[in-house]
Amino acid sequence: MNSVLGDRRTIIILLGPALLLYTLVKVVPVAWSLGLSFFEGNSLRGFEFVGFANFVEFAGDDAALQSVLVTLRYALLATTSQVALGYALALLYVFVLRRGSAFLRTVVFFPMVLPGVATALLFRNLVAVGPNQGPVNDLLNLLGLDSVEFLASGDLTLATALVMNLWQSMGFYAVLLYAGLLDIPEETIESARLDGANGLRLVRHVVLPLSLPILLSSIIFSFNSTLKVFDGLLALNNGGPGTETSPLTLYMYRTAFEYAEYGYGSTIAFVLTLLCLVFTLAIFRSSRRKVED
Partner 1 sequence: MPTVPSSRAVGVTATALLTALSLTACGGQPGSGDGDDAPTSFTVLSANEHASMRTDLDALAAGPCAAQHEALPLEHQTVAQADVVQQITLLAGQGALPVHYIAGTSQVRPDGDLGTAGLVLDYQEALTEVGAWDDVLPAASSTITNVYGHMVSLPYQYNLEGIWYNKQLFAEHGIAEPQTFGELMAAADTLQAAGVIPFTAGGSDGWPLTRWIGMHIVREVGPQALTDIRDGRARLTDPAYVAGARALAEMAEKEYFGEGVVSRGGDQSANLFLTGEAAMTYNGSWMLNDINDPATNQIGPENVGLMPFPAVEGGAGSRDHWAANAGTAYAMLPDRYSPEVGDWLACIAGNWGSQALSSGSLSGFRVNEEVADVPAPTAMVQEQIEQIDQTVLWFEALFDAESNSLASTNVSLLVSGQMSPEDYMADLQESIDSNAR
In whole angstroms, what is the distance from residue 41 CA to residue 261 CA?
A: 6
Of 237, 249, 266, 267, the one binding partner 1 (CB under 8 A) is 237
CA angle 113, 171, 285 (to 5 degrees): 110
> Which DSSP state fits 198?
-
Residue 151 as a binder of partner 1 (CB under 8 A): the answer is yes
The distance of closest approach from Cβ of residue 292 to partner 1 in the complex, given in angstroms and rounded to an integer, is 34
Which of 1, 4, 8, 187 is the binder for partner 1 (CB under 8 A)?
A: 8
How long, in residues, is the chain?
Answer: 293
Kindly indicate which of the ranges 85-93, 122-130, 215-223, 225-233 contains the residues binding partner 1, using the contact rule CB under 8 A: 122-130
Give the whole-angstrom CA distance, residue 249 versus residue 138. 34
Residue 48 binding partner 1, by CB under 8 A: no
| 222 neighbors 162 (Cβ within 8 angstroms) | no
Q: Which of residues 1, 5, 9, 142 is near partner 1 by CB under 8 A?
A: 9
Site string for partner 1, 251-290 (x = CB under 8 A): ---x-xxxxx------------------------------
- Minimal distance, residue 75 CB to partner 1, in Å: 22
Residue 242 lies near partner 1 (rule: CB under 8 A): yes
Q: Name which of 86 and 239 has its Cβ closer to partner 1.
A: 239
| Cα distance between residue 134 and residue 150, in whole Å | 11
Q: Where are the alpha helices (DSSP H) in 152-261?
A: 154-182, 186-194, 199-202, 208-210, 212-226, 231-237, 248-253
